[in-house]
Amino acid sequence: MKTLMLTLSVLAVTASGALAASVSNKDSDVQVLVVTEDGVKREVTVDAGATVEFCPSGCFVTMPSGDRETLSGSETLDIVGGSAVIK
């Protein structure tokens, strides 16, 4: 029984950590997102052609264009022409 409970706990932690928003920068310039999670702001730098995961449990994000969005943590974004497109 203890082994079953330990296995379920590990699966729950693994599953909850697997969700995160991701952003792919399709532009040729570095792009910066301002991400606010749990009241803490930070900048997420995305190099040209790179994909970055962030926001595992929901956040507010300011896109390079200045647009603001609320994310749940499971979205996929593409930055094209300085604007983010949420898929």
Instruction: Please state the separation of Cα 44 from the chain's center in Å.
Output: 9
Indicate the pTM of the whole model.
0.75
Confidence check: pLDDT of 34 > 50: yes
Of the two residues 41 and 10, the one the predictor is more confident about is: 41
The answer to whether residue 39 sits within a structural domain is: yes
Number of domains in the chain: 1
Q: Is the dihedral of CA 54, 58, 62, 63 positive or negative?
A: positive
The pLDDT value recorded for residue 19 is 81
Give a yes or no: residue 4 inside a domain. no
Whether the pLDDT of residue 67 is over 60: the answer is: yes
Domain that holds residue 62: 20-86
Distances (CA, A) of 32 to 5, 8, 46, 66: 42, 38, 6, 11
- Residue 62 three-state SS: strand
Mean pLDDT of 57-61: 94
Indicate if the pLDDT at residue 14 is higher than 50: no
